Chains A and B, each alone.
Chain A
Amino acid sequence: MTTEWLAEQLVPAQYRDVTPGAPIQLAASRCSTCDRCSFPAADSCTWCGATGSRPEPLSDGTAVAATAVLHRTPRAVVEVPFVVALVRFGQAGLDVLGRVLGADDADAMNPGTPLRVVAESLPDGRMHYAFAAPP
């Protein structure tokens, strides 16, 4: 049975049939013209508008800053509270926003904390990407 993802375009196909918590990659793209990366991957560059790019996988990064969502928000299927971090992927030169699994104190997440991309099973049964500390 194919796993249903919240947004398939965010994760390469080879990582969409995994168990929750498994490390995965995010599907970013690197522009062939300006060499800058975009996430989500884009047919035309987010920054310069040129077409033509190659995949730039994102897997291991470090926290830049973190906060938490403590109150239920419109159209969210996830339970509160949860921690959110902006995570830096150095090789791609990109910072990506996402939920952090297994963290309960945003104040304690210092810049530079290692985080990797993992698969998460949402309460509605769909899969999505999240961040988690490596084992």
Chain B
Amino acid sequence: MSVIIAGVGLHPFGRFPLTVEEIARVAAVQALGDAGVTYSDIDLTVVANVGEGMAKAQRIAAGLGATGHPVISVESACASSAAAMLAGRDAIESGRARVVLCLGAEKAPRGFIAGAGFEPWQEASGVGVTPIYFALQARELLTATGGTVADLAAVSVKNHGHGALNPDAMYRSPVTAGQVLNSKVVCPPLTLLMLCTPNEGAAAVVLMSPGEAGRRGVAQPVALRAVALATRSPGDWFVPAPSRLSQVRSSPTQTAATAAYQEAGLGPGDLDLVECQDTDAASELIAYADLELCAPGDEVKLLRSGDTRIGGRIPVNTSGGLLSKGEPLGASGLGQVHELVMQLRGLAGPRQVSGARVGLAHVMGAGHVSAVIILAAA
């Protein structure tokens, strides 16, 4: 049984003089209105958030009303939103819920993301910091593909160009390769404009069973064809592991993508667009192969072909990606879903992908967690 996305909502990503509850409410009210329901129609609310404390879900959702229905939180680092979609989808498919609100909201502190699971000795000795991992992955990618730092800059130029078309992005100005390469070096070869900014924002999705969506006459339904989430295998290496096996190579993204394609009954050739985890420029390129958009080793070739720009064969991060939107950790994945839904409804304005029918969203986070979601126009 497919689950239907009946409504979506978004609070722009950036920095705001608002509480996390206020930001969340904006996205949730939009999504409820888009779906044609009220909060009293919701059977389950699943809140994705990383940084808040105890009873965060109940607190974040409190401003929506006291209806008595279950409100739960999920946290899987940068993949938290996808975990919310997984829980919401399963609640509907099991018959325990007819209408679910998935709500991601975050007010991330400025600067490096702390608390990514590092041991105190890693942090004290200076190696407990996430950009180190991204930089080392970037080095290995460039070595394996023959790419250069100019290719990393080109990812940032592409995504900032897309972000300039997105009024909800944090950074809405195009950048040049020179600006990217000359921005402050964070961890070589990565410069500041090759890395995303942790920030604030919220996104919400209303899920329904097909029967419920039909009964309510949902205007522009989108089918949730797959949600797959994978956690570490022996061949993975990601934040916060201080070591890895030398010879085995795998990725939770590959695992999640394989499962998602199987669940959806679709393949990479069926996709019209992709939103992927561009925490840094190299991570987007790594995702190209992990999501089977190209063969391993051809990541840079795919980028250079121009096919991943709007107007290309398989546009990637039409929203501007995390590089231009920033990353409110608990909300970022639902923000991707918001972008895909707008695209599949034909409402993405100047960044619209012509004839978009199928889209894929991908997130990956600390603890080697990766998730892939596939949506299709219903």
Contact = CB atoms under 8 A, between A and B. Distances in A.
Interface of A: 6-7, 10, 28, 36-40, 47-48, 64-71, 73-78, 80, 82, 84, 86, 88-90, 93-99, 106-107, 111, 122, 128
A82 B126 contact: yes
A95 B248 CA distance: 11
Given A10-B121, A86-B244, A99-B127, 11 more contacts: A6-B121, A64-B140, A66-B139, A74-B114, A86-B136, A90-B246, A93-B247, A94-B246, A97-B136, A99-B126, A122-B125
Given A39-B243, A96-B243, A75 B123 contact: yes
A84 B143 contact: no
B139 A65 contact: yes
Contacts of A68: 187-188
Contacts of A80: 126
Contact of A76 (B119, B123, B188): B123
B135 interface: yes
B244 A94 contact: yes
A94 B123 CA distance: 21
A19 B242 CA distance: 24
Interface in B121-136: 121, 123-129, 132, 135-136
Interface residues of B, number: 33
Interface of B: 111-112, 114, 119-121, 123-129, 132, 135-136, 139-140, 143, 185-190, 234, 237, 242-247
A99 B189 CA distance: 17
Contacts of A40: 242-243
Contacts of A37: 245
Contacts, number: 117
Given A40-B242, A107-B188, A6 B136 contact: no
Contact of B243 (A38, A48, A111): A38
Contacts of A86: 136, 244
B45 to A, nearest CB: 32
Contacts of A67: 132, 135-136, 139, 187-190
Contacts of A74: 111-112, 114, 123, 129
A122 B245 CA distance: 28
B244 A76 contact: no
Contacts of A99: 125-127
B125 A36 contact: no
A71 B110 CA distance: 14
B245 A93 contact: yes
Contacts of B187: 67-70, 84
Contact of A94 (B112, B139, B188, B245): B245
A111 B245 CA distance: 17
A65 B187 CA distance: 12
Nearest to B132: A84
Nearest to A109: B139
11 contacts: A7-B119, A37-B245, A68-B187, A69-B132, A74-B112, A74-B123, A75-B123, A75-B124, A77-B126, A84-B132, A84-B187
B127 A84 contact: yes
A5 to B, nearest CB: 9
Contacts of A93: 245-247
A110 to B, nearest CB: 10
